[in-house]
Structure 1
Amino acid sequence: MSDGAAAVFVHGLYHRPEHFAAVAAGLRAEGIAAVVPELHRGSLAADTAAVQAAVDALETPPLLLGHSYGGSVITGVRGARHLVYLAAFVPDVGESAAALGGASPQLRAAIMPTAGPEGTTLLHPGRAAGVLYGDCPGPLAARAVGLLRSQGPGCGRGVPERHSWKRTPSTYVVCARDRAIDPALQRTLATRCTGMREWRTGHSPFVSRPALVVGLVRELIAGVSPRS
């Protein structure tokens, strides 16, 4: 693609941009710019500002994909041509990811406190693979777990200041074998979006099935016009 097509990926809690490396490489090979901002800025507002800066720095409006908590972030960002919610939260006015719920018992059991600042948590390495990467081969899951980082408190309780899905075309991807966020909640949240897909994957298809994510992004970029 040569029209300045771009995609911005917003990772979820505990994750890093490196978790999207295979997806970013696949898109760049096809001429689509791929940007993955680092979150963990201390609050939803700060995370949103970081992603907004990444969007504003691009020459054309990008496709904006948020995974899990990243859905709360992209909800507050202006200037996207299309929004993709990947097993993600789609907050309405006054809602936060925490208030929407849906975290599985397995995910809650995997969260443990760290020796760092009060309220900082980490995912138990022995449990995170099954919860987040249950459909990945062992070595791939182990690498993804090794990339996970600690998470400061409060981001999931943040409430977006604006709600871009109400004015921007959007696609929700339900991960039907998700062991972290209840697929039933995902299907309910999908009704807030313009369209819906359902994949028989776990919580993190950008790790387990990167070609699936690349194909969706390519398809959506080809099918929508830039927005001012």
Structure 2
Amino acid sequence: MTTYDTPTVVLVHGAFADASTFSRVIPELLAGGLKVVAPAVPNRSLIGDSAYIASVVRQVPGPVVLVGHSYGGAVITGVGAEENVKALVYLAGYALEEGESLGELQGRFPDSELASALVYTPFPLDDGEGEGTDVSVEADRLPAIFAADVDPGLARVLAVTQRPLAAAAFTEPAVVAGWRTKPSWGIVAAADRTLNPDVQRFGYRRAGATTIELDSSHLVMLSHPERVAEVIREAVRSAGN
């Protein structure tokens, strides 16, 4: 039975997606008796999204293991400084340094195929007086770039239900790097066509993360749920000691 001494797993999804991308991992974790929270990330700004997830984490009684996929990795990097966070797990994710943005880290390496498939769409800001820019992926190209080893039917659904990321999130710097004070794990999606695997490797190495590589598309938690759950459970066990 889960107690407050057993960490709660908080799953943080990435851009162009929602928490349903963890649908194959969640049953694995629940079957092991773990408590799981999978909030919806606003995908509006790195600072704002991190603040929102931090508010979720602060309401969890007891310790937390944060799991971030892709852009969600950048989010958990900042949230990792919360007192009850005991470990970080990156899934094909951005492990930013303090003061570093997504664009800066990604810009050190060659572009992936994603760069040529992005769509930019204006949206009204909350004040009603300005305009922001949403970034999404061409629907007909998303399955091959994002989910090449995922069931084709599901990949097509993901393509038309994607949640855009505001362009501002790419340029905002991380306020803090939680991996500096918390242990971390990282999964490199070696066949990733969305986020250059070398971006993942560099960030994990810099963070001193315990790292494994899987021959996977960007959506590693859908194509390799058992292996992803195993890494999360390892982080939970470590955090519980």
Q: Which shows bigger deviation, 88-97 or 124-133?
A: 88-97
**Which residue does the alignment assign to 2:201?**
187
Matched, 1:111 2:118: yes
**Which of 82, 85, 90 is residue 80 of structure 1 equivalent to?**
85
Preserved contact between residue 45 and residue 158 of structure 1 (Cα < 8 Å): yes
RMSD (Å), alpha carbons: 1.9
Give the CA deviation at 1:103. Answer: 7.0
Give the Cα–Cα distance (whole angstroms) in 2 for the partners of residues 110 and 103 of structure 1.
15
Give the Cα–Cα distance (whole angstroms) in 1 for the partners of residues 110 and 69 of structure 2.
14
Preserved contact between residue 178 and residue 202 of structure 1 (Cα < 8 Å): yes
After TM superposition, what 4+ stretches of structure 1 lie above 6 angstroms from structure 2? none
Give the CA deviation at 1:177. Answer: 0.7
* Identity percentage of aligned residues: 29
For normalisation by structure 1, the TM-score amounts to 0.91
**Which residue does the alignment assign to 1:161?**
175
**Which of 97, 101, 111 is residue 102 of structure 2 equivalent to?**
97
**Which of 191, 201, 220 is residue 205 of structure 1 equivalent to?**
220
SS in 2 for 1:120: strand
SS in 1 for 2:67: strand
SS in 2 for 1:178: coil
More strand by share: 2
SS in 2 for 1:48: helix
Matched, 1:217 2:232: yes
- Stretches of structure 2 that go unaligned for 5 or more consecutive residues are 125-131
1:68 to 1:103, Cα distance in 2 relative to 1, 3 A: farther
Give the CA deviation at 1:218. Answer: 1.8
**Which of 185, 189, 194 is residue 171 of structure 1 equivalent to?**
185
Give the CA deviation at 1:116. Answer: 3.7
Give the Cα–Cα distance (whole angstroms) in 1 for the partners of residues 218 and 188 of structure 2.
9
Preserved contact between residue 92 and residue 220 of structure 2 (Cα < 8 Å): no
1:135 to 1:222, Cα distance in 2 relative to 1, 3 A: same
Number of aligned residue pairs: 226
Give the Cα–Cα distance (whole angstroms) in 2 for the partners of residues 95 and 19 of structure 1.
26
- Stretches of structure 1 that go unaligned for 5 or more consecutive residues are none
For normalisation by structure 2, the TM-score amounts to 0.86
Give the Cα–Cα distance (whole angstroms) in 2 for the partners of residues 126 and 69 of structure 1.
21
Give the Cα–Cα distance (whole angstroms) in 2 for the partners of residues 214 and 133 of structure 1.
19
